[in-house]
Structure 1
Amino acid sequence: MILRAQESVLVVVDVQERLLPAIHESVSVVRHTGMLLKAAAALSVPVLVTEQYPRGLGPTVEAVRADLPPGTPVIEKITFGCTGEPAFNAAIQEVQRPQIVLCGTEAHVCVMQTALGLRQQGHEVYLVADAVSSRTPANHAAALERMRAAGVTIVTTEMVLFEWMERAGTPVFKVVSALVK
């Protein structure tokens, strides 16, 4: 399936202050998440953010918060998979978009359990491989392999951006394509 901006919602999972320093290639995760957020804003793609036990792990990192569209829901949770949190399920149902684009941390825990839960609910799930990570590369790789086997489509940030844009020569193309330069 081709990603369409008008059919997508971007979900940013647990990119939090006290967790991020332990994440392998965290700078890349934050950079690619920022690109996705800016493109989502330019293309009117709704965004949801989750925070795993923010009292312990802190809020979403400032670099990500700065790129959130105004009014973006930030959903606190204690379940690892976002689909275990009723507020998350209500927010997904409210946006009524079949394509869920996932990024965040940790790939093998909260991101994977969220992807599997969303697949179980019947959603098309797209995992942005360069915008997710874990504390170890082995956990990241195993999570991608397991999600792929469960029917999650593995994509990259640039794949998402260019599929969402659909064409060149538009005002939004200039804005979004500048993100990859």
Structure 2
Amino acid sequence: MAAARLGWPRVGSSVLFLCDLQERFRDTIVAFPQIVAVAARMLQGCRILGVPALVTEQRPDVLGPTVPELGAQDLPRVPKTAFSMAGAAAPLLGDPNLRHVLLCGIEAQACVLQTALDLLERGLDVHVVADAVSSRSQAERALALSRMRQAGAYLSTCESVLLLLLRDAAHPKFKQILPMIKDPPPDTGLILGGPMGVLGGP
């Protein structure tokens, strides 16, 4: 009998994808500052735990560079025209140890969704950090999250993913991660449920 897929990310087999958190989106994306703040917290936690990260930029000549408050200035920014990050991530996706992708960024219904579908098709576990994902409208955001969940992605939060990676309060890095958990995350206006049961139901 095959083991159930539990969606339990592990440090040695995970990578963080940061999708297109660029300047031109600053004034159009719902809760953009808060989304970036949560993604920055996710990146900081992954740095502490030794989880590698990939940063992409969608047509940076048009949409500008990655915003500085993400804190990714030391990371390469991979330009792309495809909506999915999979092509830009080819070197990482070739790692036979990779099992889990932690996914943050914008826009939910475009680049994030297509990245998730591409990764799921390759047999990877996709953990969508829902409080670090947004769109220009809450409807697009909510329905895209629902679509990813239907396809088999795991919807989670920054705090939950970090705790899943830690697994134990005795972890040697726990005290470094603890302030990120004790400090409440910014409110990103995430819709939980609603008349369509967007994040609930089958």
Q: TM-score, normalised by structure 2?
A: 0.82
For residues 109 and 161 of structure 1, the distance between their equivalents in structure 2, rounded to whole angstroms, comes to: 25
Q: How far has the Cα of 1:94 moved from its partner? A: 4.0
Q: Number of matched residues?
A: 176
1:21 matched to 2:56? The reply is: no
1:62 is the counterpart of 2:65: no
Residue of structure 1 equivalent to 2:77? 74
1:121 aligns with 2:127: no
The alignment partner of 1:82 has SS state of coil
CA contact (8 A) 1:46 1:95 kept: no
The one-letter code matched in structure 2 to 1:45 is V
Matching residue's letter, 2:25: L
| Structure possessing the higher radius of gyration over alpha carbons | 2
Residues 159/69 of structure 1: CA separation in 2 closer, same or farther (3 Å cut): farther
Look up the match of 1:155: 156
Instruction: Indicate if the aligned counterparts of 1:9 and 1:95 stay in contact, CA closer than 8 A.
Output: no
CA positional deviation for 1:114: 0.5
Which residue identity does 2:85 align to in structure 1? C
Contact 1:54 1:76 (C-alpha < 8 Å) held by counterparts: yes
Does the 8 Å CA contact 1:47/1:73 hold for their aligned counterparts?
no
Q: Say what the alpha-carbon RMSD is for the aligned residues.
A: 1.5
Gaps of 5+ in 1: none
Would you say 1:175 and 2:176 are equivalent positions? yes
Aligned to 2:135: 134
After superposition, the C-alpha distances for 1:127-172 in whole angstroms (9 at most, x for unaligned) are 0100000000000000011111101111111111111111114441
Whole-Å separation in 1 of the counterparts to 2:179 and 2:108? 27
Question: 8 Å contact 1:13–1:49 — kept in the other structure?
Answer: yes
Identify unmatched segments of 5+ residues in structure 2: 1-5, 184-202
The answer on whether the counterparts of 1:17 and 1:57 sit within 8 Å (CA) in structure 2 is yes
Does 2:40 correspond to 1:42? no
Q: Where does residue 9 of structure 2 map in the other structure?
A: 3
1:118 is matched by which residue type in structure 2? Answer: L
Q: Distance in 1 between matches of 2:95 and 2:164?
A: 23
Letter in 2 for 1:90: P
Alpha-carbon displacement from aligned partner over 1:38-87 (angstroms, at most 9, x marks no partner): 110000001001100001001110001x2x384x332110011112x3x4
TM-score (normalizing by structure 1) = 0.92
- Measured in 1, the distance between the counterparts of 2:131 and 2:178 equals 17
Aligned to 1:91: 92
Quick one: distance in 1 between partners of 2:78 and 2:24?
17
* Moved segments of 4+, more than 4 Å: none
Matches of 1:99 and 1:91, distance apart in 2: 11
Question: C-alpha separation between the residues in 2 aligned to 1:3 and 1:81?
Answer: 21
SS at match of 2:130: strand
The separation in 2 between residues aligned to 1:21 and 1:96, in whole angstroms, is: 38
Identity, in percent, stands at: 39
| Greater helix fraction, Structure 1 or Structure 2 | 1
Name the aligned partner's letter for residue 119 of structure 1: L
| Deviates further, 7-16 or 94-103 | 94-103
